[in-house]
Structure 1
Amino acid sequence: MIELAVFDMAGTTIDDRDEVYRVLREATEREGARYTDDQFQQWMGTEKKWAIGNLLRIGGVEVTEQLHEKAWAWFREELRRTYTENPPQPLPGVENALATLRGRGIKVALTTGFSREIADLILSAMGWEPRKTFDASSCGDEVRDGRPEPDMIFKVMENLGIDDPATVVSVGDTAADVQSALRAGVTSVGVLTGHLTRGDFGTEGAHLVLDSVADLPEAVRK
């Protein structure tokens, strides 16, 4: 029986118009990094400061601490600006799905590669509140290792008193989401609201692929 459903944010539960990826790419390219679309996609869903450092290196830039911090600061400032001017919105059917799961007694948690300051900006803009819309959340800057490591999943499990990975599903739209779920030993659910296909999720090893989060309540009922 499922006790906890863990959800990624951008691309899985919220529509941010891909602004996070525009800003991530711009934060590194403005420092001279050049890489392919396939190389960039490998860092979708991961903790953003870590992603910036890796994309700079892959893009041929000599990464110093000062340069890394400069790119990270620009990323945070630009993301805050764009999210303030045009806040992200819940993807269709997501709020009803989360309410349905919680109504059945299933805990709902959010995990994200965003820092806490950006995550709280998004949640506030959408009116999502702890213990009302979701039960726990964890951000990339609050754990030792962000995705694809399982630390954020383990953190929300601990916070909510969930011990058995067999009772947990983790839902996301990126390869990093799948890898994190598999490393945590929980059920991995891929959703097609991001940039991956069913075939992509199959290659990554996701246990289940759905069109969107809106389909999860029915899927976990079976």
Structure 2
Amino acid sequence: MKRVEGVIFDWAGTTVDFGCIAPINAFIEIFKMVGIDITLEEAREPMGMLKRDHIKTILQMPRISKLWEKKYGKSFDEKDINKLYSKFEKILMESLSQYTDPIPYVLETVEFLREQGIKIGSTTGYTNNMMKIVVKGAKDKGYSPDFWVTPDTTKSYGRPYPYMIFRNMEALGLLTTWKVVKVGDTVADIKEGVNSGVWSVGVAVGSSQMGVNIEQFNSLSKEDKMNMVQKVKEVFLKAGADFVVENMSELPMLIEKINILIGEGKRPGI
């Protein structure tokens, strides 16, 4: 049958934790603990990656790298990354349970997809231990995908590598990549989808890329909301997204559009 058979979602910033707040707070805090202030933008730039890789990427930023050398008289090394990650993991684990609320329209959209016989998978930049907390909290609030996988099970090859998507396809019995849709809220998510050959879809509202919590978003004027959404769409399309939806309520209609494209012989990235 020439139609979408599986949708693979990201977690924080896509299906739960509007604005992807939990990890951002932790990244800012661990750098503050070692005497370096990073900006919100710097903390968010590598979002979607394996968290240890995320920390390393921040350290490699020219401004942060210079601050580190000035403070410690040397370049950072693997031991420094490990120490920062250890601090990060402790802080995040203590706060994760507070950030498992489903993002608006997620529950209704997942229910619709399941009614269409579509399987629901998921990937993340969190570890297995982190996900145990997130999965339980989300399930208690109505969201539970058919499968979830972390970089712990792909030899720490997280995004933008495609292996977590392939693990989902294996577990869910999905045969071909062009019948699968990946939905995420970061550039790393988009590249994960592109590199795996599935339809790569970005979601704007609630995303880490947009970078605001739900109260901040709701307080914006209609014009400001439209401008923020447009900026996010431009970033995702530039990164290679096949499509970008404003929020999850638009996904069912997009799935129908992709079904038509599949029927016409179109494939992702073309």
TM-score (norm 1): 0.89
Pick the structure with more strand per residue. Answer: 1
Determine which of 78, 92, 96 is the counterpart of 1:83: 96
- For the 8 Å contact 1:146–1:152, the answer to whether it is kept is yes
Q: CA, structure 1 residues 24+35, in 2 after alignment: closer, same or farther (shift >3 Å)?
A: closer
1:153 maps to 2:165: yes
Counterpart for residue 141 of structure 1: 152
Q: Which runs of 5+ in 1 are unaligned?
A: none
> C-alpha separation between the residues in 1 aligned to 2:167 and 2:36?
33
Instruction: Name the counterpart of 1:73.
Output: 86
1:134-164 deviation digits (Å, cap 9, x = unpaired): 1111112221310111111111111112121
Unaligned stretches of 5+ in structure 2? 69-74, 211-231, 258-270
Change over 3 Å in CA distance of 1:149–1:32 after alignment to 2: farther
Residues 1:30 and 2:43 aligned together = no
Provide Cα deviations, 1:54-90, integer angstroms capped at 9, x if missing partner.
2223322433343222211211111111123x24200
Q: Distance in 2 between matches of 1:138 and 1:190?
A: 19
| Structure 1 residue 53 displacement after superposition | 2.1
Matched ranges for 1:196-215 at <5 A: 196=210, 197-215=232-250
RMSD over equivalenced CA pairs, Å:
2.1
Counterpart amino acid of residue 119 in structure 2? K
Encode CA deviations 1:15-67: one digit per residue, 9 max, x unaligned: 25512112123223433456665554431111101111222233224333432
Could you tell me whether the CA contact under 8 Å between 1:33 and 1:56 is conserved in 2?
no
Residue 4 of structure 1 aligns to which amino acid in structure 2? G
Contact 2:23 2:92 in 1 (8 A): yes
Q: Which structure shows the higher helix fraction? A: 2
Distance 1:205 1:64 in 2: 32
SS in 1 for 2:149: strand
Aligned to 1:180: 192
* Most deviating of 103-112 and 211-220: 211-220
- Give the Cα–Cα distance (whole angstroms) in 1 for the partners of residues 241 and 44 of structure 2: 17
CA distance in structure 1 between the aligned counterparts of 2:192 and 2:129, rounded to whole angstroms: 22
Q: Tell me what 1:2 maps to.
A: 4
Q: Is the 8 A contact 2:17 2:99 kept in 1?
A: no
1:44 match: secondary structure: coil
Q: Which moved more, 1:110-119 or 1:95-104?
A: 95-104
1:169 counterpart letter in structure 2: V
Write the distance in 2 (CA, Å) between the matches of 1:163 and 1:29.
46
Paired position in structure 2 for 1:171: 183
State the alpha-carbon separation in 1 of the partners of residues 180 and 32 from structure 2.
38
Percent identical residues:
30
TM superposition score normalised by structure 2: 0.74
Whether contact under 8 Å (2:193, 2:199) holds in the other structure is yes
